Amino acid sequence: MNSIKLRVNGKEVTGQVEGRTLLVDFLRKDLRLTGTHVGCDTTQCGACVVHVNGEPVKACAMLAAEADGAEVATIEGQANADGSLSVVQQAFQDHHGLQCGFCTPGMVMAATALLKENPKPSEAEIREYLDGNICRCTGYHNIVKSIMAASGQDVPAMAAE
């Protein structure tokens, strides 16, 4: 067992974890932050994306012990201080960027990281960036639209509709 101490969504947390415990399991089971999902066991789907020290990370590909001392952000911490949805979250609702919602936390975390890096991405750049995130429901069309909209770009002009 390792003792770890980290900040999650701005709050300090501590835990006792086995060496093999994954960050995603620590978040889901120990902290009961079940918004971060697990969709695969080969680090291919991106349902588990969180931010570690500001960088998008697949939480199934990182040990909890490795997050000792880190600043972790999850979907639960994305809303604005007044509880309203963040710009990215709101854009997903406005443009129907989710259906079953299972890939959604990972998509939102990935999209938020993308827009920090590249505030006005092109459609191709968005698609490229989401290569590690699988969605089985939306065909990506409305996810791409949502991210375009979140970046303040003209959605109808881009969408082939």
Partner 1 sequence: MPKDGGIGSSTKRREDVRFLSGTGRYTDDINLHGQLYAHFVRSDVAHGKINGINADAAMAMPGVVRVFTAKDFEGVGGVPCGWQITSIDGSPMQEPKHPVLAEGKVRHVGDPIAVVVAESLGQARDAADALEIDIEMLPAVMDMKEAIKDGAPKVHDDLSSNLCYDWGFVEDNKDAVAKAIADADHVTTLELVNNRLVANPMEPRVAVGDYDMANDEHTLYTTSQNPHVIRLLMGAFVLGIPEHKLRVVAPDVGGGFGAKIFHYAEEAFCTFAAKQLRRPVKWTSSRSEAFMSDAHGRDHVTKIELAMDKDNNFTAIRTETYANMGAYLSTFAPSVPTWLHGTLMAGNYKTPLIYVNVKAVFTNTVPVDAYRGAGRPEATFQLERVIDKAARERGVSPIELRRQNFITEFPYATPVAVEYDTGDYHATMDRVLEMADHAGFEARAEQSKKNGKLRGFGIAHYIEACGIAPSNLVGQLGARAGLYESATVRVNATGSISVMTGSHSHGQGHETSFAQVVSEMIGIDATQVDIVHGDTSKTPMGMGTYGSRSIAVGGSAMVRATEKIIAKAKKIAAHLMEASEGDIELKDGQFTVAGTDKSVAWGDVTLAAYVPHNYPLEDIEPGLEETAFYDPANFTYPSGGYACEVEVDPDTGKVDVLSFSAADDFGNVINPMIVEGQVHGGVAQGFGQAMMENCAYDADGQLISASYMDYAMPRATDLPMFKVDHSCQTPCTHNPLGVKGCGEAGAIGSPPAFVNAVIDALHRGGHKVEHINMPLTPDRVWTAIQNS
Provide, rounded to whole angstroms, the least separation between the CB of residue 54 and partner 1. 19
- 3-class state of residue 71 by DSSP: strand
Establish if 100 lies at the interface with partner 1 (CB under 8 A).
yes
* Residue 159, contacted partner among ligand FES, partner 1, none, CB below 5-8 A by kind: partner 1
* Residue 142, contacted partner among ligand FES, partner 1, none, CB below 5-8 A by kind: partner 1
Choose which of 51, 74, 149, 151 interacts with partner 1 (CB under 8 A).
74
Stretch that binds partner 1, among 51-59, 64-72, 114-122, 124-132 (CB under 8 A): 124-132
* Residue 30, contacted partner among ligand FES, partner 1, none, CB below 5-8 A by kind: none
Residues paired with 15 in a beta bridge: 4
Q: Is 74 exposed, middle or buried (0-12, 13-18, 19+ CB in 10 A)?
A: buried
- 51 in Cβ contact with 108 (< 8 Å): no
Which residue shows structure tokens 């971060």?
Answer: 36
